[in-house]
A and B are shown apart, each in its own frame.
Chain A
Amino acid sequence: MNNNEIIAKYLPAHADVKINNNFIAFEIPHSSLKEIVCDLYRKHNLPLKTITAADEREENGCFKIFYAFGAPKENIFVAPFIRIESSEEFPSLTSEIHEASTYERKIKTFFGLNPIGHPNPRTLILHENWPNGLFPLRKDFNWQTRPAEAKEHFEFYKIEGEGIYEIPVGPIHAGIIEPGHFRFNVAGEEILNLEPRLGFVHKGSEKLFEILPLEKKLILSEKISGDSAFSHSLAFCQAVESLGGINVPERAKYLRVVYAELERLANHLGDIGFIMLDTGFNFGGANGSRLREMIMQINERLTGSRFLRGVNIFGGVAKDINRQAADKLMEDLENIVNDFSEVIEVAENSDSLLNRLKGTGIVTGQIAKDHGVTGVAGRAGGSKNDARKDFPYAAYDKLDFQIAVEETSDVYARFRVRIKEVYSSFEIIKQALENLPEGAVNAPLAAVNLTPNAQALSIVEGWRGDIVYFAMTDARGNISRVDVRDPSFLNWTAAGHAGPGNIVPDFPLINKSFNLSYSGNDL
């Protein structure tokens, strides 16, 4: 399908269209926002990838809000946008499209634009000590500003009644995990309501993306969520490559697949172990960590970095894998997979383990759909979405693999999806190494010149789910805005719904089965 057909299929007639590669942006008036966006979401059933704002008051005298949808298979992104000129308000879509809620809250918090009609426009991410009326992503906010403590108050959802009490947990935990606060409303041991409150690792990353020089932006993208360093930098590189019209050599595309799958393997192996450990199944826990460490050491051997940092560069990758290293890699991976199969066999034969995993932390289909649950958690509930198939990037369109799907949507399903993906990652690496084309591993670039006034959207299926980067340039061809949407941003909203109906001591296990990023959510 070419661009004209896409435009005819999804866009209203006479739309003023602006195209950059596979990103189609068109302005729509406030009045028809609801109708057009709901059409894309419901009638065309396109997945909503991100809603984000940009402050263009200096250049164009307005804020813009983009509603970016992806058209799977066609690998094209359709993004209607509205201009906000005189007021600081925009119509909220939350009552129509539930997953818009957190995006709109984020826009309100960081841009000071009010979503009119939003049922619950509380601030998101920024702490109650951040002063009201100070909006960090507006261009006139200096990134070095150090505001005074505001000591505002944050209202948690509260359930009242006889015998119901609250358990505040975190942000400091007994184990070494990222900081986040969880507020439970509990009757005895049963969870009635659970609200995660995040933002404790807010680092101003999106602001820094506007400030730092281009090569530093790349390093920043590796630090958005440390366990997904490669996937995040890949998503950012792809966005920049799209804006700069850079062609990536074939060999680099295959290598990107290999590294991305190594990252997935390391994290899935670790997670599978931790899920078992959290039920107290020590054997599985110890072996998960051991297998993960073996992949990390492979990463270090291939690239010099256990977390695959510094591997992605604009136009390709910095580290090649020669024939000898590829053979050694295949040999090691085969051993690891055999080892892994033995561990899983023991685990699947342990009744006490399966009893803890099955039926725990179910996210019902409607809740998952409304919150736009993505990645492992989404596929555990039967949603057949995988950016590697839907929006193929790098060399995934040339490789043969299946999307791992489970139906039960409980901890066990998320556990199983990870196991299946370990096997499929192994197969993908094998195919990629066998078909590795000869040639350069990166495009020789003297300088990166980006198209002015353009937008690009890039999706990478990280090990948690799809990582979305939206980048746009100003009139001089500098990156003026980068919106990062880690899969955790969506899945956190649903993780809260996995709690009610379960008992308090099962929550750590449920949380671990999602294993969401705090850093990637808080940005």
Chain B
Amino acid sequence: MENIINWTIQILLLPALSPLCVGIIRKIKARFQNRQGASVFQPYNDLWKLFHKDEVISSDASWIFRFAPFAIFGATLAVSASLPIFASFLSNNFTSDILAVIYILAIGTFFLALAGLDVGGAFGGFGSSREMTVSALAEGGLLFSLLVLSFMSGTTNLFSISGTIDSLPLASLLPVVLAFLGFFIVLLAETARFPFDNPSTHLELTMIHEAMIIEYSGKRLALIEWASANKLLIFITLGSSLFFPIGIAHSMGVIAIAAAILFYLLKVLVFCVAVAIIESGIAKLRLFRLPDLLLFSFILSVIALGLII
């Protein structure tokens, strides 16, 4: 019984929270610009609105365009069920492996890029091309930063990693922090935030993520928007539960779990504030300088790996 409750929370929490996350980042950004900003719950209203709208689908679109939003959204659901969110004692031996999670996310990206190309518009094409460049380069940084944790805890299962990292000696803090810095750069790249992409731009020619989904409308757009909010929270959760698993519940118990959820929410808030500060304080990088930054992320992870081997 307790297991069922735990798993229900585990599966529903992330998709239910993710739009709020986007709302909070937008709100903080607005405050930084001396603006009032929309309510933090506005992304929920947007999703609700989009789910009640009709769609316009190009007559040139194939089944890929129609099917992709479900694949993308499904991928994020599968991953959110595989992450340690508040409890490290839950176990999922099917999808909760580092490689499995990274490549399930990659399936989502793959379909997104295909859908961008499918309709044949100019914007979708270059959006997909840029996305492929960025995510191919980001893959190394992501994989190696998580590998650092995996080497330190001796397992590739995410739940087990989050259960062991915070019991490690203080001396191992340095590689964790280095790997985290590498990971954070990838987080910004994979979730289409600054300095890689501008989630609030209206300039077609500068877009990456928005260019790929430019042909979507109505319900499918809602799914994609929700999926990208999920992806943002997935990366934040990876960062908070794996690198800093403070407060995570190691055993069953109502108080432990409630405290763990509270800790989790706090950590997510810190990540949101960090992302919002970055987006308010700097300009976007020139497209051709993005590989340098991603390479930097990769190097950080490799150094961290060198420190522990």
Contact = CB atoms under 8 A, between A and B. Distances in A.
Interface of A: 165-169, 173-176, 189, 276, 278-283, 285-287, 290, 350, 352-353, 355-356, 503-508
B53 interface: no
Contact of A189 (B32, B195, B283, B287): B287
Residue with the highest number of chain B CB atoms closer than 10 Å, among A176, A279, A282, A350? A282
A169 B288 contact: no
A286 B35 contact: yes
A283 B288 CA distance: 24
Given A174-B204, A286-B35, A280 B287 contact: no
Residue with the highest number of chain A CB atoms closer than 10 Å, among B32, B195, B214, B283? B283
A280 B283 contact: yes
B195 A505 contact: no
Contact of B203 (A166, A283, A355, A508): A508
Interface string B189-220: 00000110010011111100000001000000
Given A175-B203, A281-B282, A287 B287 contact: no
Contact of A506 (B122, B198, B204, B286): B286
Nearest to A276: B283
Contacts of B281: 283, 350
B16 interface: no
A169 B205 contact: yes
A503 B35 contact: no
B284 A279 contact: yes
Contacts of B34: 286-287, 290
B27 interface: no
A275 to B, nearest CB: 10
B90 to A, nearest CB: 39
A257 to B, nearest CB: 32
Contact of B279 (A276, A282, A350): A282
Contact of A505 (B29, B32, B279, B287): B287
B61 to A, nearest CB: 19
A504 B126 contact: yes
15 contacts: A174-B214, A189-B126, A189-B130, A276-B283, A279-B284, A280-B282, A281-B282, A282-B279, A352-B285, A353-B282, A356-B285, A504-B126, A504-B205, A505-B206, A506-B287
Nearest to A285: B33
A350 B283 contact: yes
Interface residues on B, range: 20 to 34
B283 A174 contact: no
A290 B33 CA distance: 10
B280 interface: yes
Residue with the highest number of chain B CB atoms closer than 10 Å, among A175, A279, A505? A505
B209 to A, nearest CB: 13
Contacts, number: 86
Contact of B126 (A167, A168, A286): A167
Contacts of A507: 205
Interface of B: 29, 32-35, 122, 125-126, 130, 194-195, 198, 201-206, 214, 279-289
Contact of B198 (A280, A283, A353): A280
B193 to A, nearest CB: 10
A504 B204 CA distance: 10
Given A286-B35, A352-B195, A356-B286, A174 B280 contact: no
Contacts of A175: 202-203
A279 B283 contact: yes
A350 B130 CA distance: 26
Nearest to A283: B280
A505 B198 CA distance: 12
A167 B122 contact: yes
A508 to B, nearest CB: 4
Contacts of B194: 280
Contacts of B286: 355-356, 503, 505-506
A503 B288 contact: yes
Contact of A173 (B33, B130, B195, B204): B204
A167 to B, nearest CB: 4
Contact of A280 (B122, B125, B201, B204): B201
A336 to B, nearest CB: 15
Contacts of A189: 126, 130, 287-288
Residue with the highest number of chain A CB atoms closer than 10 Å, among B34, B205, B214? B205
Contacts of A168: 122
Given A174-B204, A507-B205, A353 B126 contact: no
Given A350-B283, A352-B283, A356-B283, A283 B33 contact: yes
A505 B283 contact: no
Contacts of B203: 174-175, 278, 508
A189 B133 CA distance: 12
Given A189-B287, A505-B287, A350 B202 contact: no
Contacts of A505: 205-206, 286-287
B288 A281 contact: no
Contacts of A287: 33-34
A466 to B, nearest CB: 29
Contact of B202 (A174, A282, A286, A353): A174
A191 to B, nearest CB: 10
Residue with the highest number of chain A CB atoms closer than 10 Å, among B280, B282, B289? B282
B282 A352 contact: yes
Contacts of A356: 283-286
A286 B33 contact: yes
B99 to A, nearest CB: 31
Contact of A508 (B206, B280, B288, B289): B206
A195 to B, nearest CB: 15
Given A280-B201, A353-B282, A507-B205, 14 more contacts: A167-B122, A169-B205, A174-B203, A174-B204, A174-B214, A175-B203, A189-B126, A189-B130, A287-B34, A355-B283, A503-B286, A503-B288, A505-B286, A508-B205
Nearest to B133: A189
Nearest 8 Cβ contacts at the A-B interface: A286-B33, A280-B284, A175-B202, A279-B283, A281-B283, A508-B203, A352-B282, A505-B206
B208 to A, nearest CB: 9
Nearest to B200: A282
A278 B204 CA distance: 11
Contacts of B206: 278, 505, 508
A167 B201 CA distance: 19
A48 to B, nearest CB: 33
